[in-house]
């Protein structure tokens, strides 16, 4: 029975989300004077129904899943990492630059260095927020959001200025073949399928396993529930705060690097916009459940694909996908926010 309920409750949970989603879509479509069925079938086609679209959706899913992990892991320890956005920019740009300038090295090395650079930049960016949190008690939401803007404008300046290599669009120089992730080209289509999704799902499985089976994962969960209990159990939560922010940054940076080396292979100004926040939304909708993270990321990616298709091929306003995503986050994560507040209330009698 217990085994069954462990599996039924997440499934039931996602069924609820799907139903909420359908209701929201219908309501908004009706308000906009469109047929809900037309909107939903357009969505389905544009996100999944042809190999080309499917590949685009999966590539986007990978990036969102990395960002979702970057938010989810700190969240398990009670930290709200809103900095995925900036970490992705920096990860992507570092990979682009390293991949271009180190092209002379023997084959796997440029790729390895490019990805490592992405991870390193993300980690450094997360580390700043973690250290400020521990040393100066500044809330991580404030620092990560500010750091996002620093990253956004810094990256924009670099791509449009010193490292600009494109003429028709602001972008960096294309990375060499030796720095690219091998990807599958879709027959007869223009899209390529990056192996990023496999890597992201693999990390997601590892995350689920780690949280349950490793003492360190257990310690993170204790910190997320009660800092008081963590202190009692002999856990140095300040050290974990920095580590969690670093791990979050690494994952987001890795996401940017993998997407860059696997899909576009050059950094277009503005191309990573919004993925960090999409990942945060995925983490909130799925309440950090590993299977849920994958489903939520694919779902949000599919909305993004639909967005593009609506814009190009239909008279449906692409904003409808944003409304759906926002409505879902509000409706679904509301419960989560309520619980988080309750935990916060309890911890007012913490001693530290």
List residues bridging with 193 in a β-sheet: 184
CB of 167 to other proteins, least distance (A): 54
Which of 190, 234, 312, 338 is the binder for other proteins (CB under 8 A)?
A: 234
CA distance 135 to 266: 37
Asked whether position 229 contacts other proteins by CB under 8 A, the answer is: yes
CB of 38 to other proteins, least distance (A): 44
Stretch that binds other proteins, among 10-18, 73-81, 209-217, 272-280 (CB under 8 A): 209-217
Which runs of E-coded beta strand occur in the chain? 184-185, 192-193
Q: What part of residues 89-108 is at the interface with other proteins (CB under 8 A)?
A: none
Whether the CB-CB separation of 139 and 225 falls below 8 Å is answered with: no
Which of 188, 215, 315, 338 is the binder for other proteins (CB under 8 A)?
A: 215
Q: What part of residues 327-346 is at the interface with other proteins (CB under 8 A)?
A: 346
Stretch that binds other proteins, among 36-44, 96-104, 212-220, 321-329 (CB under 8 A): 212-220
Determine the straight-line distance between the first and last CA of the chain, rounded to whole angstroms: 41
Q: How many residues of this chain bind other proteins (CB under 8 A)?
A: 23
Q: Which two tokens stand for residue 127?
A: 């580390």
Asked whether position 5 contacts other proteins by CB under 8 A, the answer is: no
List residues bridging with 184 in a β-sheet: 193
Burial of 110-144, coded b for 16+ CB within 10 Å and e otherwise, reads bbebbbbbbbbbbbbbbbbbbbbbbeeeeebeebb
Asked whether position 152 contacts other proteins by CB under 8 A, the answer is: no
- Reported residue count of the chain is 352
Q: Considering Cα of 283, then 287, then 288, then 291, what sign does the dihedral take?
A: negative
Which of 85, 140, 219, 259 is the binder for other proteins (CB under 8 A)?
A: 219
CA distance 100 to 292: 36
Asked whether position 239 contacts other proteins by CB under 8 A, the answer is: no
Stretch that binds other proteins, among 20-28, 114-122, 174-182, 217-225 (CB under 8 A): 217-225
CB of 174 to other proteins, least distance (A): 44
Asked whether position 238 contacts other proteins by CB under 8 A, the answer is: no
Which of 149, 153, 232, 330 is the binder for other proteins (CB under 8 A)?
A: 232
Which of 38, 135, 214, 335 is the binder for other proteins (CB under 8 A)?
A: 214
CA distance 214 to 232: 19
Which of 64, 222, 244, 301 is the binder for other proteins (CB under 8 A)?
A: 222
Q: Which two tokens stand for residue 125?
A: 């960016």
Stretch that binds other proteins, among 70-78, 112-120, 178-186, 211-219 (CB under 8 A): 211-219
Kindly report the backbone phi and psi dihedral angles of residue 117, in degrees, each rounded to the nearest multiple of 5, phi listed first: -65, -40
Asked whether position 137 contacts other proteins by CB under 8 A, the answer is: no
Residues contacting residue 273 through CB under 8 Å, at least 6 positions apart: none
Stretch that binds other proteins, among 39-47, 195-203, 220-228, 329-337 (CB under 8 A): 220-228
Whether the CB-CB separation of 340 and 81 falls below 8 Å is answered with: no
Judged by the rule CB under 8 A, the positions of this chain that interact with other proteins are: 2, 212-215, 218-219, 221-222, 225-226, 228-229, 231-234, 236, 346-347, 349, 351-352
């Amino acid at each position: 029975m217990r085994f069954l309920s462990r599996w039924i409750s997440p499934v039931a949970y996602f069924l609820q989300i799907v139903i909420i989603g359908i209701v929201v879509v219908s309501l908004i479509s009706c308000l906009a004077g469109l047929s809900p069925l037309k909107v939903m079938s357009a969505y389905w086609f544009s996100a999944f129904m042809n190999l080309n679209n499917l590949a685009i959706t999966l590539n986007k899913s990978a990036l969102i899943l990395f960002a979702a992990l970057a938010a989810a892991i700190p969240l398990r320890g009670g930290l709200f990492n809103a900095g995925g956005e900036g970490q992705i920019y920096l990860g992507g740009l570092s990979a682009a630059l390293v991949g271009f300038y180190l092209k002379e090295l023997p084959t796997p090395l440029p790729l390895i260095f490019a990805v490592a650079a992405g991870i390193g930049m993300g980690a450094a960016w997360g580390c700043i927020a973690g250290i400020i949190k521990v040393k100066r008690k500044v809330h991580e939401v404030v620092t990560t959001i500010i750091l996002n803007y620093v990253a956004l404008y810094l990256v924009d300046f670099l791509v449009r200025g010193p490292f600009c290599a494109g003429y028709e669009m602001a972008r960096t120089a294309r990375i060499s073949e030796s720095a690219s992730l091998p990807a599958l080209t879709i027959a007869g289509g223009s899209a390529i399928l990056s192996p990023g999704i496999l890597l992201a799902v693999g990390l997601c499985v590892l995350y689920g396993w780690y949280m349950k089976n490793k003492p360190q994962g257990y310690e993170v969960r204790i910190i997320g529930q009660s800092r008081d209990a963590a202190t009692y159990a002999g856990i140095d939560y300040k050290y974990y705060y920095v580590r969690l922010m670093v791990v979050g940054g690494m994952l987001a940076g890795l996401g940017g690097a993998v997407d860059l080396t696997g899909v576009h292979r050059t950094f277009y100004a503005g191309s990573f916009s919004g993925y960090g926040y999409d990942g945060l939304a995925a983490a909130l909708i799925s309440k950090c459940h590993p299977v849920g993270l994958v489903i939520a990321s694919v779902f949000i990616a599919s909305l993004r694909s639909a967005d593009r298709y609506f814009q190009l091929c239909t008279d449906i306003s692409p904003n409808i996908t944003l409304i759906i995503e926002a409505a879902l986050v509000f409706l679904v994560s509301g419960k989560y926010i309520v619980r988080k507040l309750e935990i916060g209330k309890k911890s007012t009698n913490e001693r530290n």
